[in-house]
């Protein structure tokens, strides 16, 4: 009941495209030209995904200092410890760093991932104490560290050097690390501020490889100079899974990684996870990394220990890889069951938050028995349901509660948290993140105060139109384009993802057949208006209680995709939204 009552009405709005692509080839499909122009591209050359056109590593502030420290550490056979994070971005960052450093001749390279339930996030003083047992000379953080002021100080007190590589937005104070590489730190001139953590460390390692080559290291040690492109499968996976905006640099990294995966040039762990996700090499697109690989890898960090996921990516032993991949798959199944129960509880809370069916601008939800590792994905699910920024909280240690925030387009969630922290000193224990996602912690007894402050700040930051649940359409497809040929073209025209949205179209259709599949989804046969053309379609979660919508004719927003069944490829519509007409 709450689910349907509090779902904001969705409206379909067509993109307004007034400009044209410069230098577009004459044979570029006109619909693709319109799609690209609608994603703020000005020139066809911006679609190039050549590695040669990536911004140079030297543009990253701090990269020279980081490279110098790593060069010395490798040449002196120092102990290097990689401190990872417990999500897919952190896991791919960690695996990439270990593999690349070893390929460059590092003798003592190890990794450590804080257990989120014991140590929390980042390089904390507590995890430094744990790290010290391995006697590292250098700690390299990947996908974390920009807020680890106390942790860096603790490492220095024990004689360790610290290189911070991160992409999250910095706070008012930076850690006193020996080197910081983060495109979002003050004074950084790198043109892409959207690199994932794995993208940042890829750049650092690429610069290190160049420095070692220039110094004659590889020839002196008779080491084959590693080709950094061999790690792009990991870069693509971490970038897509972290849902960072696919600007030109990220599109290049993802496109090149997908090319290697589809050519079979990927880590055994990536191949095993794709197989478990029923994806076929040669046909992989960016969404497969986000929906098939990312959740299975993330399940380790959500429910157990992300070291399991890292081992899956590092191992070259096929038997070990397959065994670990199956463990990850089982963890993901468990995660989905936990998530389902938590979502039911969360939706039942919604009527208590609103007045006469109107929800506040921002939602804060807390469950006494909610799983700390699943609150992030719960926040995402409730956001999808309500089109509101959502923070889901679960119990932490010693009277704290941990929150995971997910935002909507047009609201920078970390800026909101920063404003709350500024106007209410002491309310937040700690927080960090970026535009669309953030994490935070506070005292249990301050939950109600925080909820009030959060709603006030969301309202202050938001333009009212942002809360309108609008689906942007790239227009209507002609009968000629509503088929397998153009569906295949669209699959190859990406990579699509965050801030470079997969094309969505709309049109009016007659519903010829429909049935419920998987208890919540609707399988249909549709017929175009004023045409005899029929096409298969599926709408996920369009029958939440197993009840079919009783509509003969619908206005549908859809994506055109390729359905593969028994080796046969056919066009299929993925229905995003439909309404009677």
Tens-digit pLDDT profile for residues 440-456: 999 999 999 999 999 99
522-572 pLDDT, tens per residue?
A: 999 999 999 999 999 999 988 877 888 889 999 999 999 999 888 889 999
For 332-341, what is the mean pLDDT? 95
Check residue 355 and give its pLDDT.
Answer: 57
562 half-sphere exposure, CB direction, 13 A CA radius? 20
- Average pLDDT of 395-399? 89
Give the percent of the chain with pLDDT over 70. 97
CB atoms < 10 A from the CB of 230, how many? 15
Q: How confident is the model over 93-125, as pLDDT tens digits?
A: 999 999 999 999 999 999 999 877 677 778 999
β-strands 363-366, 390-395 pairing:
parallel
CA angle 508, 514, 516 (to 5 degrees): 130
Q: Which residues of 374-391 are buried (b: 16+ CB within 10 A; e: fewer)?
A: bbbbbbbbbbebbbbbbb
We find that the CATH architecture of domain 57-328 is Alpha-Beta Complex (3.90)
- 47 against 172, higher pLDDT: 47
pLDDT tier for residue 18 given thresholds of 50, 70 and 90: confident
Given the DSSP bridges, would you call strands 534-539 and 568-580 parallel, antiparallel or unpaired? parallel
Does the pLDDT of residue 7 top 70, yes or no? no
Measured CA to CA in angstroms, residue 159 lies from 67, 201, 423 at distances of: 19, 23, 38
Q: Rounded CA gap, 528 and 242, in Å?
A: 37
Helices and strands of the chain, counted as H and E runs: 19, 17
Q: What is the pLDDT of residue 465?
A: 65
Would the pLDDT of 466 be above 80?
no
> Is 90 exceeded by the pLDDT of residue 462?
no
* Mean pLDDT confidence for 172-184: 96
Does the structure show a pLDDT above 70 at 177?
Answer: yes
pLDDT tens for residues 39-88?
Answer: 989 999 999 999 999 999 999 999 999 999 999 999 999 999 999 998 99
Q: What is the pLDDT of residue 4?
A: 42
pLDDT the model gives residue 516 = 93
Mean pLDDT of 446-470: 88
Q: Where are the domains of the chain?
A: 2-39+472-580, 57-328, 354-467
pLDDT-derived band at 398 (thresholds 50, 70, 90) equals: confident
CATH code for residues 354-467 = 3.10.310.30
pLDDT reading at 424 higher than 80: yes
User: Would residue 84 be called left, alpha or beta, if left means φ above 0 and alpha means ψ between -120 and 50 degrees?
Assistant: beta
Residues 507, 508, 514, 520: is their CA dihedral positive or negative? positive
Q: Which of 302, 63, 111, 84 is nearest to 197 (CA)?
A: 84
Closest CA to 467 of 404, 391, 387: 387
Average pLDDT, the chain: 93
| Consecutive H or E run containing 439 | strand 437-443
| DSSP assignment of 533-575 | -EEEEEETTS-TTS-----SEEEEEEEEEEEEETTEEEEEEEE
Dihedral of CA atoms 528, 534, 536, 541 in degrees, nearest 10, equals 30
CA 562 to chain centre: 23
Q: Is the peptide bond before 107 cis (omega within 30 degrees of 0)?
A: no
Q: At what angle do helices 307-314 and 88-103 cross, to 10 degrees?
A: 40
Q: How many C-beta atoms surround the C-beta of residue 44 within 10 A?
A: 15
Give 227-281 pLDDT, tens digit per residue. 999 999 999 999 999 999 999 999 999 999 999 999 999 999 999 999 999 999 9
The reply to whether the predicted model has a pTM over 0.85 is yes
Read off the pLDDT band of 17 (50, 70, 90).
confident
CATH architecture of 2-39+472-580: Beta Barrel (2.40)
CA distance 262 to 382: 34
Looking at the DSSP bridge assignments, the partners of residue 152 are: none
Residue 265: predicted pLDDT: 97
Dist CA 209 CA 207 (whole Å): 5
Radius of gyration of the chain (CA): 24
pLDDT at 208: 98
The pLDDT value recorded for residue 439 is: 93
Residue 506: count of CB within 10 angstroms of its CB: 22
Judge contact between 248 and 192, C-beta under 8 A: yes
Residue 113 has what pLDDT? 92
């Amino acid at each position: 009941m709450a689910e349907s009552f509090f779902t904001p009405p969705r409206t379909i709005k067509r993109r307004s495209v007034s400009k044209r692509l410069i230098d577009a080839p004459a044979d570029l499909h006109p619909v693709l030209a319109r799609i690209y122009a609608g994603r703020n591209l000005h020139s066809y050359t911006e679609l190039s995904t050549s590695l040669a056109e990536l911004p140079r590593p030297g543009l990253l502030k701090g990269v020279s200092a980081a490279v110098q420290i790593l060069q010395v550490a490798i040449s002196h056979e120092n102990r290097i410890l990689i401190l990872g994070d417990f999500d897919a971005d952190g896991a791919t960052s960690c695996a990439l760093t270990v593999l690349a450093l070893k390929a460059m001749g590092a003798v003592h390279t190890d990794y450590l991932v804080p257990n989120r339930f014991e140590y929390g996030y980042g390089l904390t003083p507590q995890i430094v104490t744990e790290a010290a047992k391995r006697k590292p000379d250098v700690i390299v953080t990947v996908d974390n560290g920009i807020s680890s002021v106390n942790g860096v100080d603790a490492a220095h007190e024990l004689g360790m050097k610290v290189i911070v590589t991160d992409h999250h937005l910095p706070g008012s104070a930076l850690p006193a690390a020996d080197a910081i590489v983060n495109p979002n730190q003050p004074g950084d001139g790198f043109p892409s501020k959207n690199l994932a953590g794995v993208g940042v460390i890829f750049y650092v390692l690429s610069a290190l490889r160049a420095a070692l080559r220039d110094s004659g290291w590889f020839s002196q040690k008779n080491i084959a100079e590693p080709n950094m492109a061999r790690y792009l499968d990991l870069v693509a996976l971490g970038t897509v899974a972290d849902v960072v905006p696919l600007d030109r640099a990220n599109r290049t990294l993802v496109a090149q990684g997908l090319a290697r995966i589809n050519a079979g040039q990927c880590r055994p762990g990536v191949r095993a996870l794709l197989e478990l996700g029923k994806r076929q090499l040669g046909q992989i697109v960016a969404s497969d990394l986000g929906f098939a690989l990312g959740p299975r890898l993330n399940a380790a960090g959500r429910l157990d220990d992300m070291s399991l996921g890292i081992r899956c990516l590092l191992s070259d032993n096929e038997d070990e890889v397959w065994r670990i991949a199956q463990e990850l798959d089982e963890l993901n199944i468990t995660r989905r069951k936990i998530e389902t129960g938590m979502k039911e509880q969360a939706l039942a809370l919604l009527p208590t938050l609103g007045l006469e069916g109107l929800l506040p601008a921002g939602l804060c939800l807390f469950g006494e028995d909610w799983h700390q590792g699943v609150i992030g994905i719960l926040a995402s699910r409730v956001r999808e349901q309500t089109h509101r920024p959502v923070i889901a909280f679960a119990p932490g240690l010693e009277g704290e509660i941990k929150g995971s925030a997910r935002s909507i387009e047009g609201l920078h969630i970390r800026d909101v948290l920063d404003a709350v922290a500024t106007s209410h000193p002491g309310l937040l224990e700690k927080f960090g993140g970026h535009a669309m996602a953030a994490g935070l912690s506070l005292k249990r007894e301050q939950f109600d105060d925080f909820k009030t402050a959060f709603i006030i700040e969301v309202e202050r930051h938001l333009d009212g139109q942002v809360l309108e649940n609008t689906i942007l359409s790239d227009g209507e497809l002609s009968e000629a384009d509503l088929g397998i040929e153009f569906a295949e073209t669209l699959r190859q025209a990406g990579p699509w993802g965050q801030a470079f949205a997969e094309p969505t179209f709309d049109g009016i259709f007659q519903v010829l057949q429909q049935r419920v599949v998987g208890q919540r989804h609707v399988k249909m046969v549709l017929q175009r208006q004023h045409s005899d053309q029929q096409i298969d379609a599926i709408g996920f979660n369009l029958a939440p209680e197993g009840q079919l919508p009783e509509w003969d004719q619908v206005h549908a927003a859809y994506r055109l995709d390729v359905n593969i069944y028994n080796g046969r490829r056919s066009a299929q519509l993925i229905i995003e939204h439909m309404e009677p007409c």
